[in-house]
Structure 1
């Protein structure tokens, strides 16, 4: 005899299933009151749905992860979560939270400009971080409204996007993002104008010189010395002969070859006197300070030691001795290997 299920049992099971379904729907749509300081959620690139659900439960937003995970998978949200830092306030349901994590509208994504980055570097990172295509970023750089804020530099905004770590919402327009970087530049250079005027540089010349210093040395104590070399050369009517300017004009990375030093473009300070037409990268605060505060020394030359530092010289004879000594040391190290 086959077992039979009574109508009462079926009804009870159906009522139970209905109750669970209603509770599940209510739980995912019920708005929680968030703390006065807000509720912070960080979604890192590569985070799984389980990682995010555990974070929400740990923060007290969810009593458990099961129902949230079930709904997220059913809605397809698992594949659409956008990385970023999210701060929610007021009332919020898990379903609303999922929608925001999918849209990225409120998420703030970290974006870093490193000292010495060029506009090409920043545009590439803009695209890689998912803010839009590099062409969208380059289009924002052409904004006359933005250029006017830094005196409409003749070579564009190279040098005027201040190196720092920023946080932008995914929905932020490229022009607004560039505007934030310009604002930071203006904030960080406001107290340098007195020193800039004392050494006789315009804002554009200050940024241009700072960008060369940025590319020439990463050693903090050397920046004022490198600045002094270039100030002294400019004062004496000598060519700057800065390798990074030749490479910038050639659109190449790495040490320059003979062809780079002989290339006839406006940025090649081996061929042209004075500063190049504009900055060759976006310099940091330390290089900007060094550009307007050169060390009180009479150096005219420097040569790389090969360890990141440089040997400085006051005359071509001293410079040649430094070069010979460093080459001899390098040959000796090569033979000892």
Structure 2
């Protein structure tokens, strides 16, 4: 799991909003430290609620054969980064549906806790915090259930259209169109709120709307890409027998060797029998201090093979694309067993797409 710096923005906004107005108005004449303590704990519990929502997606995805890159928390919530797509409409339904259900369950539990405390104890700020958490989790569940990509409801809509038509591409087109419509609607409402004086709420809605539009458009583009690359094996796009670096090479030797200059910025590292060990980048090698380059091997700074996509030559190219995009070096080592037979980069994917886009056979297939 990772969190971007923008999560701090969420934390601060929630604390200021709750301590500065919500809690103070509901329970006036309390010491200031109580408002800030209650709002801080509430903000932490809200972020944990977002994490629980995304973890549920990740767990169900793994149970349905979809690998998970990780979970990111950021300004507008959370995102479970999936390396591949669901294989069936049923799997898509289960993966998408569990998130809103978890948020709804959390909202119910917080509401129950608030009701019990209000009935039997004098705990005003605690009840207010629990009630806020109940409301925000239920709101999160309802908003995410809207049938528009990239929300969970958009994936539910995609699953339904996929099941009805048998075409995942058409299903994605419907979900992304709904997502763009929702995004523009949010932008329009946000602009209206700004014009009538609710500047903060309006700007927030505009930001969310732009995010929904961008993500929906991206999902549509990725679906078209998967369809375009359908049926093409990795071997058709890879560079066979790439220039390699022996694992025993020092950083000094690597940087001085003319074979590793100018043409590429990263090279596969192999053992003596051409067994793949990893990938060394010029940037990583150049970061080694000059005094240590003669004693440091490329294996000390390389990206290990376990951290790279490692498809086989006959694997579908479409399945590799999301893994390549998610990987930090945007390269895959093509292996037969443990032996290196090729390398695939983002540029290789772009060239394959350019050729397919100009191919009359592919154009006829899309008509």
Q: Which structure would you say has the larger Rg?
A: 1
The answer to whether the superposition gives a TM-score over 0.5 is no
Higher helix proportion: 2
Query: TM-score, normalising length from structure 2?
Result: 0.23
Greater RCO (CA < 8 Å, at least 6 residues apart): 1
